[in-house]
Amino acid sequence: MIFKGRFRTVRQRDHAVPTPLPRPLLGHEAYLDIRAWRRSGEPGPLLLVTSPRKTGPAVRRNRFRRQVRMAFLSLSGRLTGQSWVVWVRPARNAPPLDRLTFRDIEDQLGLALRRLPPTDTP
């Protein structure tokens, strides 16, 4: 799926999860578990959103995925030209998905993206 000609959501088998998994970008008190790693190949960021069944019914999980995608698109200007896979999922201590607001998601995703190291290229 292509967004604005530059950003895509990750589909199954569209990425390789490294082992061991990268450390979370936010602390234990965060509502979102956000991890990121560099990928080889095409330039541009990819988004992977996971919301397991135990986090709530399908309507809430789908709404969470849409909110994360919209927050990522609004903040991804700082990732232009960089090859990152950003993996977002609810943390273990997260409130129910219907209590997470778009503002909460956008704030935590923005904080995590600011913690990514800069690119090596000028």
Q: At 20, phi and psi to the nearest 5?
A: -70, 160
Tell me the pLDDT tens digit for each residue of 70-122: 999 888 787 777 888 889 999 988 888 888 899 999 999 999 999 888 765 44
pTM assigned to the model: 0.81
Q: For residues 63 and 78, give the distance between their C-alpha atoms in angstroms, rounded to a whole number.
A: 24
Q: Which domains does the chain carry?
A: 2-114 (3.30.230.10)
* Neighbouring C-beta atoms of residue 65, cutoff 10 Å: 17
Q: Which residue from 77, 85, 97 is spatially nearest to 49, judged by alpha carbons? A: 85
Strands, E, within 4-121: which ranges? 7-9, 32-38, 46-49, 84-90
Q: Give, as one character, the DSSP assignment of residue 93.
A: T
| Mean pLDDT, rounded, for 24-45 | 85
